[in-house]
Amino acid sequence: MSVQPIDVQVLLARLNQIGREQAVHRDALVQSQAVAADEIARKSAEQGHGVVEVSTEEEGPETVGDGSGGGSGGGHGPHRGHDESNPGDEPFRDPELGQNVDVTG
């Protein structure tokens, strides 16, 4: 099967149109990448300048108790007494410290 002269004429006539179509496809890819990059830049700028909302609320040390702790009636300021909920958080104390008192001067 050989190439006929009419096929060459049709190919040459459509060559300009095919070149434009390929250029449009190539430019569309570049354009879509540029739009995506602009959107990412806009989102990152919004995150940098905006306030981030927290979806879950967690209890922390700043929460107020319900008063059933059995402490003194004041209720003001931080609780400095022994906390029964965390027995492992007791500070380390040296058993040798403060046992021998030298009074000879």
pTM over 0.75: no
Backbone phi and psi for residue 18, each to the nearest 5 degrees, phi listed first: -65, -40
Tens of pLDDT along 1-13? 788 888 888 888 8
Chain centre distance of CA 41: 16
According to the model, what pLDDT value does residue 65 have?
61
Tens of pLDDT along 25-78? 999 989 999 999 999 999 988 887 777 677 777 666 765 666 665 555 555 555
According to the model, what pLDDT value does residue 92 have?
76
Domain ranges of the chain: 22-48
**Cα 105 from Cα 103, distance rounded (Å):** 5
Amino acid sitting at position 6: I
According to the model, what pLDDT value does residue 69 have?
55
